[in-house]
Chain A
Amino acid sequence: MINLKNISFDQCIKCTICSIYCPVSRATHLFPGPKQSGPDSERLRIKDPALIDSSIKYCTNCKRCETVCPSNVKIADLIQTAKYNYLKKKIRVRDFILSRLDILIRILSPISPIANTLMRNSLVKLLLEKFLGISRRQNFPAFERSSFKNCFKRNMQEQDIYDESVIFFPGCNVNYMDKRLGKDLVKILNAMNIGVTIPDNRCCGVPAIANSNIGRAKKYARYNIRSLKKALGDRDRRIVLSCSSGTLALKHEYANFLNLDTSTLHEKIDYITPYLFNRFSEGRMPALNPVHARVAYHSPCHLERIGGVMYTIDILKRVPGLDLVILNSECCGMSGTYGFKKEYFKISEMIGSQLFKKIDDAGPEVVVTDCVTCKWQIENMTGYRVLHPINILAMSVFKYGLDEYL
């Protein structure tokens, strides 16, 4: 069966460079590398779908292969599409749960104190591993008691007093797990005289895509597209996200992978740091105060892919007094929900080991990264507290102390 959309494998000249930079095949020989799983096998899969090899399931979709490919082959997309099209569709309970984290979160959020304690209980974790295949060595993130959206409705009502406005798509992380990030972001924007609108939204669909639950991902995506279009109305304003993978999904994967029409939205969507950068360049910049802390910055794979790293670094560099260590670009190994799965946990740990060592070498007070699942992985594997660049910026704008975040 020919995928009519992505024939970029045709451009592959077999230079093999992608295989050098694949963090998965580096960690495990079970994965033969992006060249074989992507363009090489695609020709065979077109000839006969039965020739698909199950080893493609090890791909984490980090997209580093695409970043280094000199031939513009959409290698990771080829692999994800193949996973979805040809691998046996046996959605496990675990994958179902991981693909619909939003529901889990919505259920657990109201009982968060109990849930958070329970999820960290070693017996519960053992049971989860035994029956669901969720690695007991990973910690589930803690849930907030009430959602960010509620909090926003209650406390940040007056957003139309500012002379500009922007739409903020909070996503599940901000909504249920990291309210502080949402609040910091809104406050910074407000300090820049920009009002914030929060549209009605659902899960961005990234977990569903990662777990090959394409039907579900499409439902979420359609919902989000509709509600963003509605929120946008006919006003010329931009949509920002605080999550790099979410941005990748909304901006690229909805169109390229789920084949949905995002043409009216595509140009409007920004990850938060490029947005801030552009505003700063226009002179709309809040006053920054020194932050005296040693931080190590890790650039997530997906931010690398959408090209936002330069902006985040630029913004961090603007913070006076900040002792910034930029870590060599490596994959942390979590890749969404990959690291939660029992069978991949070891691989995930191996993939990240280079990064964890470098963090240790740098000896920072906190680690900074843009991606929430990188944050989970690093916190779990190294014990360092991980913050979002927006948190650091908020510390600088509002003179918050680092201890508030620890």
Chain B
Amino acid sequence: METDVIIIGGGATGTGIARDLSLRGVRSILVEKDDIASGTTGRNHGLLHSGARYAVKDIDSAVECARENRILKKIARHCIEETGGLFVTLPEDDPSYQDRLMDGCSNAGIKAVEISCKDALAIEPRLNSSILSAIKVPDGTIDPFRLSSANMLSAMENGGKFITHAAVGSIIMKGGAVSGIECVSAKEGRFSIHANIIINAAGIWSQEICSLAGIKLKMLPSKGSMLIVDYRINRTVVNRCRVPSDGDIVVPGDTVSLIGTTSRSIEYNGIDDLRVDDDEIDILIRNGEKLIPDITRSRALRAYAGVRPLLAVPGNTAGRDISRGIVLIDHEERDGLKGLVTIVGGKLMTYRLMAEMASDLVTGKIGVSKKCLTARIPLPGSERLESLKKNLKLFPGISKSVIGSAMYRHGYRASKILKNDKKNYRQICECEMVTEGEIGYAMKSLNTGNITDLRRRTRIGMGPCQGALCTYRCAGLLNEMGHTTPGESLRMMEEFLEERWKGVRPVLWGDGLRESEFTYWIYQGLFGLGNIKNDNDGSSDEI
């Protein structure tokens, strides 16, 4: 295989670069060792920063956020919800922080308004009623899976190529310059791709990629854990008005809400096996409850952790205090290796800017003069606003909840997905209302390899039952559609339930435990899924 630019890493930045380059007519292949948005991109709280969070300590980031915020609202409408946000001061918090926040916001040009506690409670009825003050800010939420998927779709429609589930084994070098990479994937085995430019957008894994090229780059992994509750308990983003600390934000995201975030330094070799510590759960619940007291009455659905992709800078050591600034490294300048570019740091919010910066550098190198278009052209799905009413008329047999959910996930493209074929009305995931048609579309057009990937494209298995009914249906359906062999389907089913379990296990109590018992009864008790190994090695032939 041969191309102009190889992009390593399928997070928001990587897919953003793929889109940016493809819109400029540059050929690229993106290689990702797992799935798009499977790393840090898909493991944060999905906050569409207004910038207020950074206004006190890091004015540059705040300004950057505020600018990208406005762009994203134009180009990624279907990935974004303009929920609005609140900064609330609790009795135990330092009341002076509020003034500093207001000052910071006005310096950064962020529209922050002080409102009365009564108004705050009217906006957010479940808010702790003992708050001392509240500030309204234009925070929102952004769905990282949808965002990455839309960037990928846009890139593919413009000629970009994506190879997921393929890890970079080595970087091929020829006389002081890179000339390609060698990849390993379970499906294709070993293969190589040739290009004169490689963009390392592997986030926290950038250190590994650089070391493949013999270059030293030190990342400082800082783990952040979050906890999801069953439904959308709050309407707006609720922030705690204090110096950023553990558990000071509750973000609504699609059908759920989540409590974020902790910050803990971890060893670099621990980044592939992230676990939420038990005391982190305590911290999140204790603090989340201070903002929204009812949150402990709701079912904890799962907990997960991501790693902030921070570059080590002499002097700074702790995760949250390091500047979240963008770092673009031309390794030709820094290390004398031609053709390798690394882009790290930044935030989900600034992915587009990072992609623009990396693409600008690279197009300069290969002599393409076309300017960046990503701030102007909307992503696939956000081309046009479409009314639910119109789609209701187009698909009279489908429930409004199903049509609406598909529109949330795929925006303008939803009407293509819900094709008027009655077979496609079958609901496979009942919690998140994912139909057979949507699954078929994702498998065909969104570069989807297995059920876990499918979850990132459609929200299948992300509802309260965490895959209790839909895992089997989905595995069977993929086989029926011809995407998998029966053996692959069984393996995926097991993998998917294990993947769900990873997030469920840390919050296993109450109705979550009931749900798990139910799921275990079905898959182990009724189906015997865990017995496949025994069945295959012939322990049962004496029957």
Contact = CB atoms under 8 A, between A and B. Distances in A.
Chain A–chain B contact at Cβ < 8 A: yes
Interface of A: 2, 4, 7, 9-16, 32, 35-36, 40-44, 46-48, 50-55, 71
A42 B401 CA distance: 10
B384 interface: no
Contacts of B297: 7, 10
A43 B231 contact: yes
A78 to B, nearest CB: 12
A53 B468 CA distance: 24
Contact of A44 (B298, B401, B465): B401
Nearest to B252: A47
Contacts of B518: 13-15
Contact of B464 (A12, A36, A44, A55): A12
Nearest to A9: B231
A35 B463 CA distance: 14
A51 B469 CA distance: 22
A53 B298 contact: no
A125 B405 CA distance: 43
Contacts of A50: 388, 400, 404
Contacts of A52: 400-401
A10 B401 contact: no
Interface residues of B, number: 32
A54 B398 CA distance: 11
Contacts, number: 86
Interface string B323-337: 000000000000000
Interface of B: 125-126, 230-233, 235, 254-255, 294, 297-299, 388, 399-401, 404-405, 408, 430-431, 433, 463-465, 468-469, 511, 514-515, 518
Given A9-B231, A40-B430, A14 B405 contact: no
A3 B165 CA distance: 43
Contacts of B232: 2, 43, 46-47
A7 B298 contact: yes
Given A2-B125, A51-B404, A51-B405, A13 B231 contact: no
From DSSP, what is the main secondary structure of chain A's interface residues? helix
B399 A10 contact: no
A35 B468 CA distance: 15
Nearest to A41: B401
B415 to A, nearest CB: 17
Contact of A14 (B400, B408, B465): B465
A43 B255 contact: yes
Nearest to B235: A2
Nearest to B231: A43
Contacts of A43: 230-232, 255, 431, 463-464
A402 B255 CA distance: 59
Contacts of B511: 10-11, 13, 71
A256 to B, nearest CB: 17
Given A13-B465, A35-B430, 8 more contacts: A7-B231, A13-B511, A13-B518, A14-B465, A43-B255, A46-B232, A50-B400, A50-B404
Contacts of B465: 13-14
Decide if the interface of chain B is mainly helix, strand, loop or mixed: loop
A40 B431 contact: yes
A305 B6 CA distance: 65
Given A43-B463, A47-B232, A14 B469 contact: yes
Contacts of B231: 7, 9-10, 42-43, 46
A166 B249 CA distance: 56
Contacts of A11: 299, 511
A10 B255 contact: no
Contacts of B233: 2
B400 A51 contact: yes
Given A2-B126, A53-B400, A47 B254 contact: yes
Given A40-B431, A46-B231, A46-B232, A13 B515 contact: yes
Contacts of A16: 469
Contacts of A53: 399-401
Contacts of A42: 231
B125 A14 contact: no
Contacts of B299: 10-11
Contact of B433 (A35, A44, A46): A44
26 contacts: A4-B126, A7-B297, A10-B511, A13-B464, A13-B465, A13-B515, A13-B518, A14-B431, A14-B515, A15-B518, A32-B399, A36-B401, A40-B401, A40-B430, A40-B431, A43-B231, A43-B232, A43-B464, A44-B255, A44-B433, A46-B232, A50-B388, A53-B401, A54-B400, A71-B511, A71-B514
Contacts of A10: 230-231, 297-299, 464, 511
Max chain A C-beta neighbours (<10 A), residue from B254, B401, B431 = B401
B433 to A, nearest CB: 7
Contacts of B298: 7, 10
A4 B297 CA distance: 12
A115 to B, nearest CB: 42
Nearest to B299: A10
A42 B298 CA distance: 14
Nearest to A39: B464
A217 B400 CA distance: 29
Nearest to A44: B401
List the 7 closest A-B pairs by CB distance, nearest first: A51-B404, A14-B465, A53-B399, A53-B400, A13-B515, A43-B231, A51-B401
B254 to A, nearest CB: 7
Given A14-B431, A14-B464, A14-B469, A47 B401 contact: no
Contacts of A46: 231-232, 255
B404 A48 contact: yes
Most B CB atoms within 10 A — which of A13, A35, A40, A41? A13
A32 B294 CA distance: 31
Which of A11, A16, A55, A71: most chain B Cβ within 10 A?
A11
A12 B231 CA distance: 12
Contact of B468 (A2, A4, A14, A47): A14
A146 to B, nearest CB: 49
A12 B514 CA distance: 10
A385 to B, nearest CB: 42
A36 B402 CA distance: 11
Contacts of A4: 125-126
